[in-house]
Amino acid sequence: MSKTDDLKELISEDLNDNEVILWTGKPAGIKLLDMPYGTSVIIRWIIGLVFVVFGLWYQFVFIPSAKNPGMSGTVFMLVCFVIAAVIALMPLMEINKLKNKCAYYITNQRALVYIKASSEKRNIKEKKYEDVSEISSDIIADSRGNIYVGAKLKNSHSKARGYVLSPPGTDEEGKERPLIFHSVVDPEKVIAIFPSFN
């Protein structure tokens, strides 16, 4: 069985009557520091570093000079280290989830994003074509880009990774977020496959 057949099998039970899969894909070639995501990754690492420095300062500077410290220096330092590790590893976990648990679909009726959940619950986001006014794309790097099924919002490009994995919703201004296919090879060729937008 090919990878395409495996991807089709994931959502076969979720297809409507007369619904046909026209294209399947997965995020490709995601790099940790792809722009514009690299800036937020570096900021997270700096915040994590601040927690590490603060934990070390508390343990080796504050505790020796304090008469009555409220918390054990070792415990506080370990808590700071754990917080720093979580902050630093979140982008890597996000990329891992995109690469290994995410799939994109174009059917003759709608666009779908499937995210493999740890439970029996199905995690599928969709946009029916009759609810979509536009489909657009932008380039990340090389020949990879994002596809936006629905109106692209001003922060869609910089938050695309997170939007793919989060439930459907609205942005800070209350506008409905588009369905996003993040890091797709040759996004313009893929857009041409959508039946209502040829």
For the chain, 198 residues long, the average pLDDT of each consecutive 10-residue run is 66 84 90 79 92 89 70 83 93 88 91 80 84 87 87 76 77 80 92 78
At residue 25, the pLDDT reads: 92
Please name the fold of domain 3-30+102-197: PH-domain like (2.30.29)
Six-digit token string for 57: 């300062």
Structure confidence at residue 139 (pLDDT)? 86
The two beta strands, 179-185 and 110-115, are unpaired
- Map out the domains of the chain as residue ranges: 3-30+102-197, 37-97
Predicted TM-score (pTM) of this structure: 0.80
pLDDT of residue 160: 76
Helices 73-101 and 37-57, axial angle in degrees (round to 10): 160
Q: Is 107 left (phi over 0), alpha (psi -120 to 50) or beta?
A: beta
- pLDDT at residue number 118: 67
Whether 186 contacts 32, CB under 8 Å? no
> Before 36, cis peptide (omega within 30)?
yes
